[in-house]
Amino acid sequence: MNNNILMKIENLSKDFSSRESIFGKEMQLHAVSNLSLDIYEGEVLAIVGESGCGKTTLGKILVGILEPTRGDIYYRGRKLKEVGKEEFRTYRREVQIIHQDPYAALNPVKTVYQILSGVITANGIARHRNEVREKIDELLTIVGLTPTEEFINKHPHQLSGGQRQRIVIARAIAPNPKLIVADEAVSMIDVSLRIEILNLLLKLKEELNITYFFITHDFGVARFFARNNRIGVMYLGEIVELGNTEDIIRTPLHPYTKALLSAVPVPDPNLTRSRKLLPLKSLDIPNPANIPSGCKFSDRCPYSMDRCYKEKPELIQVDKSRSVSCFLHVKE
Amino acid sequence: MKEAILDIKGLTVEYRSDSKTIRAIDNMNLTVYKGEVLGIVGESGCGKSTLAMSILNLISSPGYIKDGLIIFDKDINVLRLNEEELNRFRWEKISMVFQAAQNTLNPVTKISEQLNDVISSHPGVNTDIKERVVELCKLVRLDPERVLNVYPHQLSGGMKQRVAMVMALMLEPPLLILDEPTTALDVLTQKQILEILKELHEVKNMAMIFITHDLSIVAEIAERIAIMYAGKIVELASIDEIFYNPKHPYTKGLLKAAPSIVGDIESLVSIPGSPPDLSSLSRGCRFSNRCPFTKDICKEAEPLLTEVLSDHLVACHRWREINE
């Protein structure tokens, strides 16, 4: 990881409107709210959060599938709202996404050849039949599906879950991306195969110089994949804590991070017996129509003070490599 | 002396499609004891959900129970019950909580009516429904005022899962089967459900079969664990034996494959390969194509589940050599 910012996210918000019923009044759901974050070239940034925290929405905005309601994204220092068509196309090619479900992500009536050749020709990577075939062989070899002749004419249903995810990965790296947004990339893969897929992604990072924005709900997976890198914890559309992976896991500062980590089951019965859940005031995420003003976690937090209900804490740097948005950690 | 609540003997379950027959469970023997929490752990396709469905005699076409006996509490032969007897048996003797509880609740009926249905489908059950529902809601930390008069879509995933638990507990069955009850839930909600289950187990002393793909989750709740692979139990032992003294190479592999927030991450490694095709099994051990210890014998004969230590059963020809 170096200090070049590959992507800069500035005060980003995404609102969705919904209605309780057709006669009800329209209500705004803030999926991402005023979020700022830098993604450095060559890093693995893991974003951990529960369902509904906005992590998938954020990922979709980063790759350009969704448009933000407010705020800006800079890719390689250029504001995406202001770039021309050609430059925008380059950004779309260089920033790819891997979705959670390898079953839904592949067109069931196409063969592996058709799936990959489509991406290759659409991005102008190769044109002639021979070149395309060569590129497909190369991609399949990189993702470990060899001998390639065994896979090239298969349909997705003829492949196992792990093999399908490898095809999804091959498709994502075909356009030579610089940044890959991986959204729960191993959640649907059997436990015995997860490490293999994660190691493949890490190998690609080294060989192809890829930066990862790795979205997950699983702290264990984040710890493995983003080791020696960074974790950001998301809650209700905001980053509440950001820091080095091992620091976050060992000494979480934000009460929400603490609560999540205290609830993660561990494969060690003796340790399990001694672990206690941080006593939250409520275990349920608040109704989106009824988010507390002030700190969004204040209604569940066991440490909330008067100030937390009235004021909104900012994500501020509390030491060299850690930022947290909590008044407990503000030095006056 | 431990007393059996459920005895499964020689259970074989198959699914048939146009061209092939898949044996999802093969000649399985398993005893569940009164008041215990038995964890069943395995990956997708290992047959763990089929096992749960078989216990309630819920297997339907294209699946069928080919062979075996399921005996409940010494004298009920579950696979011989007729439709009427089965309807009484389910909920009253054994009830089940499924992974996607939201799908088990009727979307157009209020929660209170669905709970009533459980009671009214069991004539002769003498229960003050109101009192019982309030007591159970309290136990699973639900506010009865909030949940009873609403429709399922008005509740969160965690609340629906707890409603499903109330429903399963209405008739206080001596055995509760939970099939991935927390998999669809967030980690905080999952922790809460696990706490509730532990409390239930203590208060009601009911036996539970807890099915999951995640060893960490059974570490929270189970007393004994069965590890399943490709339709067979490959290891069965107390929770401490499984975690701290595993004998089967698959169990060892699973423990080394799961990323966690504790322990060494450098030593994590996947199990190479994938499970065998259950429609065309070859001779020998089903794990042999992925096992680092495979020898000729493993390719030739299927290992039997054998008691190798007190209350510790393993199905591996080479368990002794590889654990020296």
Report the amino acid identity of residue B264. Answer: D
For B113, B186, B193, the CA distances from B160, given in Å and listed in that order, are 15, 13, 11
Q: Is residue B228 part of a domain?
A: yes
Q: Is residue B310 part of a domain?
A: yes
Contact B243 A191 (CB under 8 A): no
Residues of B in contact with A190 (CB under 8 A): 43-44, 213
Q: What pLDDT, on a 0 to 100 scale, did the predictor assign at position B8?
A: 98
DSSP B108: T
Of A172, A237, A266, nearest to A210 (Cα)?
A: A172
Closest CA of chain B from A270, distance in Å: 8
Contact B243 A269 (CB under 8 A): yes
Which of B190, B240, B257 is closest, CB to CB, to A192?
B257
Q: Which residue of A has its CA nearest to B245?
A: A268
Q: Is residue B255 part of a domain?
A: yes
Which of B158, B191, B219 is closest, CB to CB, to A277?
B191
Q: Is B48 exposed, middle or buried (0-12, 13-18, 19+ CB in 10 A)?
A: buried
DSSP B247: -
Q: Is residue B125 part of a domain?
A: no
Contact A283 B243 (CB under 8 A): no
Closest CA of chain B from A300, distance in Å: 12
Closest CA of chain A from B163, distance in Å: 15
Q: Which residue of A has its CA nearest to B155?
A: A287
Q: Is residue B193 part of a domain?
A: no
Q: Is the model's pTM score more than 0.90?
A: yes
Q: How many domains does chain B have?
A: 1
Q: Is residue B45 part of a domain?
A: no
Quickly count: other Cβ atoms within 10 Å of residue B290's Cβ.
19
Q: CA B300 from chain center: how many Å?
A: 31
Q: Is residue B176 part of a domain?
A: no
Q: Which of B99, B245, B262 best tests the A interface by mutation, with the highest count of A CBs <10 A?
A: B262
Q: Which residue of A has its CA nearest to B243?
A: A268
Token readout for A302 is 């066991």
**Given CB atoms, is B108 within the 8 Å cutoff of chain A?**
no
Closest CA of chain B from A281, distance in Å: 12
Q: What pLDDT, on a 0 to 100 scale, did the predictor assign at position A21?
A: 61
Q: What pLDDT, on a 0 to 100 scale, did the predictor assign at position A22?
A: 64
When pLDDT is cut at 50, 70 and 90, the band that residue B126 belongs to is low
Q: What angle do CA B8, B11, B14 make, to 5 degrees?
A: 150
d(CA B167, CA A212): 44
d(CA B259, CA A265): 11
Q: Is residue B268 part of a domain?
A: yes
Q: pLDDT per position in chain A (332 positions), as tens? A: 568 999 999 999 999 887 666 666 777 888 999 999 999 999 999 999 998 889 999 999 999 999 999 999 999 999 999 999 999 999 999 999 998 888 888 999 999 999 999 999 998 899 899 999 999 999 999 999 989 999 999 999 998 888 999 999 999 999 999 999 999 999 888 888 899 999 999 999 999 999 999 999 999 999 999 999 999 999 999 999 999 999 999 999 999 999 999 999 999 999 998 888 899 988 777 777 778 889 999 999 999 999 999 999 999 999 999 999 999 998 76
Q: Which residue of A has its CA nearest to B239?
A: A269
**Alpha helix (H) residue ranges in chain A:** 55-62, 85-94, 112-122, 129-142, 149-152, 161-173, 191-208, 219-225, 245-250, 255-263, 269-274, 306-310
Tell me how far apart the terminal alpha carbons of chain B are, to the nearest angstrom: 32
Q: What pLDDT, on a 0 to 100 scale, did the predictor assign at position B127?
A: 67
Alpha carbons within 13 angstroms on the beta-carbon side of residue A187 total 19
The pLDDT > 70 percentage for chain A reads: 97
**Given CB atoms, is A227 within the 8 Å cutoff of chain B?**
yes
Q: Is the pLDDT of residue B300 over 80?
A: yes
Q: What pLDDT, on a 0 to 100 scale, did the predictor assign at position B17?
A: 85
Distant-in-sequence, close-in-space partners of A295: CB < 8 Å, separation ≥ 6:
A301, A304, A308, A309, A311, A312, A313, A325, A326, A327
Q: Is the dihedral of CA B306, B309, B311, B316 positive or negative?
A: negative
Report the amino acid identity of residue B33. Answer: Y
Lowest mean per-residue pLDDT among A48-52, B217-221, B309-313: A48-52
d(CA A146, CA A267): 34
Which of B261, B271, B274 is closest, CB to CB, to A220?
B261
Residue B264 belongs to what domain range? 223-324
Helix axes A129-142, A161-173, angle to 10 degrees: 120
**Given CB atoms, is A122 within the 8 Å cutoff of chain B?**
no
| Inter-chain CB pairs, A–B, below 8 Å | 122
Q: For A132-184, give the DSSP string.
A: HHHHHHHHHHHTT--STHHHHT--GGGS-HHHHHHHHHHHHHTT--SEEEEES
